[in-house]
Amino acid sequence: MSMDRVIERKKGIKRKHIYWAIGGLIFIALLAKLIFGNNSSAFRTSADRLTISTVEQGSFNDYITVIGQVEPISTIYLDAEEGGRVKELLIEEGAMVKKGNIILKLENKQLYQTILNSEAALAEKENYLRNTRINFETELIQSKRNILDNEYRLARKKRNFEQNQSLYKEGLIAKEDYLQAQEDYDYEVKLLDINKMKAKNDSMIRVTSMKTLETDLTQMREMLKLVHERIDNLNVKATVDGQLGMLDAEVGQSISQGQRIGQINVLTNFKVNAKIDEHYIDQVRRNLPATLERNDNTYKLLLKKVYPEVRDGQFRVDLVFDGKKPDNVRTGQSYHINLELGDPEKAIMIPRGAFFQSTGGQWIFVLNEDGTEAVKRSIKIGRQNPKYYEVLEGLQPGEKVITSSYDLFGDNERLLLR
C-alpha cells in the first residue's frame, strides 16, 4: 500500500521578503520627508542678479524730495486802466524797468472827445457863473438904490407930514391936506420895510445860489482833472522796479480797459514753487525746513505758503531761501529740494528698492546666515523717504534682505542662491 509523503517548506529569507523590505523603507522615508521635510516651493537664481541690502539701525530722516521751479518773490501785473490802441512800445519784454518808466503808449480818440466836451461844459458853467455874479451885483446895486430912493422920499414925506400936522392943529390947512400928508408918509414907511425885506431875501438867495454854482464849478473842475488823469493813464507805466517778464501788446493792437497786458517780476528775492503729492497734505505746513544741493553746496529754504487747492492729485507750496542763495539764480530754474516733514528719529531701516512694488511692503525675502537661501517673511513698513523705508516689525539690524525686483520669483516661498 502506497503512502503520501509530506514535503517540508524551506526555511530562510526569500526574494519577495527583500522586495517587501525595500518597499517599506522607501515608504517610511517618503513619509518622514512629508512630515519633517520643507515642502515650500523654491526658485533658483544667481545672487549676482539680485540687490542684497543690510538691515540698518540709525537716524531716520523723515523728508521727501520734490522738484521746485524758481519764481520771483512777487509778480506785479500790468492792467490797462484805459482802453485804446497801442501807439508806441518803448520797452521790450525782458528789460529791467524802474518805477514810473513808460512801457507803452495808447491812444483813445473817444477819450480826447470826452475831454473836449468836459472843457466846453466847464467853460459854459464858468460863463454862467460869471453872468450870474454880474446879475446879482446889478440887482444888489438896484436894491440899494431903491432903498436909498425910498429913504429920501420918506424923509421928505415925514417933513411934509410934520409941517401939515402943525398947520392942521392951528387950523391953517384943511383936514384933507393933513390926512393926505399922513397917508403919504405911512406909505413910504411901509414901502421902505418891504424894500429892506426884499433886499435881505435877495441877498440870502444870492449867497445860496452862488455857493451852489461855485460847488458845481468845483466839481466840474475835479471831473476835468480826472479826465486829464485818464489821458495820463494812456501811458502804461511800471509801478515797481523789476524785470518786464511778459508783455502781450503790439503796435496797432486794441486794448480793452482792465485788460492784462503784462507783468513785472520783482527780483529783490526769489521763491521756489513746488508740487507735492496729496498723500503728504496733512504733514506739510508753514515754516518746515528744506535744503537743496547745487555745485557741492547746501542751501537752506523755509516753507512759507501752502496753497489750499488740490489739482490732479497734487498741491502747491512756496519756499524761500533762508540765508545764502545760489549764484546766478534765474527765473524758471528747476531744483530738487529735500523737504523735512519731521525731526530725525532712531529706527530700523532698509534701503528703498523695487521689491516694494511687488509686495506693497508687507513681506520681503530674508537671507540665511551663509547667504545660500532666502525665505519670505512678513514685515511692516512705516514711514519712507527717498533713500530708506522705516521697518516697524519683522526685521532685525544686521539681517540681509533682497531689495531688488521680485517680478521673476512668482509665488515661490524660497529662493535658492548660487
Its pTM stands at 0.52
pLDDT tens, position by position, for the chain (418 residues)?
445 555 555 555 656 666 676 777 776 766 655 544 455 578 998 888 899 999 999 999 888 999 999 988 888 898 988 888 999 999 988 889 999 999 999 998 888 888 788 888 878 877 887 887 888 888 888 888 988 998 999 899 999 989 989 888 888 888 998 899 899 999 989 998 998 898 888 888 888 887 888 888 888 788 778 777 778 888 899 989 988 888 888 898 998 888 999 899 888 888 999 999 998 899 899 999 999 988 888 999 999 999 999 999 999 999 999 988 888 888 888 999 999 988 888 999 999 999 999 899 999 999 999 989 999 999 999 988 889 999 999 999 999 999 999 998 888 999 998 8
pLDDT at 349: 94
Q: What is the pLDDT of residues 35-78, one digit of tens each?
A: 444 555 789 988 888 999 999 999 998 889 999 999 888 888 98
Q: What is the CA radius of gyration of the chain?
A: 55
Residues 120 and 211 in one domain: yes
Tell whether 244 is covered by a domain. Answer: yes
* Residue at a domain's end among 325, 340, 355: 340
pLDDT at 13: 60
CA dist., res. 106 & res. 259, Å (int): 13
Q: What is the CATH number of the domain that holds 293?
A: 2.40.30.170
Tell whether 21 is covered by a domain. Answer: no
CA dist., res. 29 & res. 36, Å (int): 10
Tell whether 19 is covered by a domain. Answer: no
* Residue at a domain's end among 292, 325, 340: 340
Query: Are the beta carbons of 241 and 253 closer than 8 angstroms?
Result: no
CA dist., res. 53 & res. 229, Å (int): 74
Residues 225 and 244 in one domain: no
DSSP character at residue 173 = S
Q: What is the CATH number of the domain that holds 98?
A: 2.40.50.100
Residues 214 and 285 in one domain: no
CA dist., res. 69 & res. 271, Å (int): 8
Query: Are the beta carbons of 256 and 80 closer than 8 angstroms?
Result: yes
Query: Are the beta carbons of 99 and 240 closer than 8 angstroms?
Result: yes
Residues 131 and 182 in one domain: yes
Tell whether 32 is covered by a domain. Answer: no
Residues 116 and 214 in one domain: yes
Tell whether 5 is covered by a domain. Answer: no
Residues 120 and 180 in one domain: yes
Residues 241 and 309 in one domain: no
Q: What is the pLDDT of residues 7-36, one digit of tens each?
A: 555 555 656 666 676 777 776 766 655 544
* Residue at a domain's end among 298, 315, 340: 340
Residues 297 and 248 in one domain: no
Residues 246 and 283 in one domain: no
Alpha-carbon separation of residue 398 from 23, 251, 374, 385, 401 (angstroms): 47, 73, 15, 20, 10
Which residue, among 3, 82, 108, has the nearest Cα to 259 in the 3D structure?
82
Residues 133 and 180 in one domain: yes
Instruction: Say how many domains are in the chain.
Output: 4
Q: What is the CATH number of the domain that holds 351?
A: 2.40.420.20
Pairing of strands 334-340, 314-321: unpaired
CA dist., res. 189 & res. 123, Å (int): 45
Query: Are the beta carbons of 281 and 301 closer than 8 angstroms?
Result: no
Which residue, among 337, 335, 303, has the nearest Cα to 317 in the 3D structure?
303
SS (H, E, C) the chain: CCCCCCCCCCCCCCHHHHHHHHHHHHHHHHHHHHHHCCCCCEEEECHHHCCEEECEEEEECCEEEEEEEEEEEEEEEEECCCCEEEEEECCCCCCEECCCCEEEEEECHHHHHHHHHHHHHHHHHHHHHHHHHHHHHHHHHHHHHHHHHHHHHHHHHHHHHHHHHHHHHCCCCCHHHHHHHHHHHHHHHHHHHHHHHHHHHHHHHHHHHHHHHHHHHHHHHHHHHHHHHHHHHCEEECCCCEEEEEECCCCCCEECCCCEEEEEEEEEEEEEEEEEEHHHCCCCCCCCEEEEEECCEEEEEEEEEEEEEEECCEEEEEEEECCCCCCCCCCCCEEEEEEECCCCEEEEEEECCCHHHHHCCCEEEEECCCCCEEEEEECEEEEECCCEEEEEECCCCCCEEECCCCCCCCCCCEEEEC
Tell whether 159 is covered by a domain. Answer: yes
Query: Are the beta carbons of 115 and 225 closer than 8 angstroms?
Result: no
Tell whether 378 is covered by a domain. Answer: yes
CA dist., res. 335 & res. 273, Å (int): 10
Q: CB atoms < 10 A from the CB of 73, how many?
A: 16
Residues 155 and 197 in one domain: yes
Tell whether 57 is covered by a domain. Answer: yes
Query: Are the beta carbons of 400 and 353 closer than 8 angstroms?
Result: no
Containing domain of residue 242, as a range?
A: 78-107+234-255
Residues 187 and 218 in one domain: yes
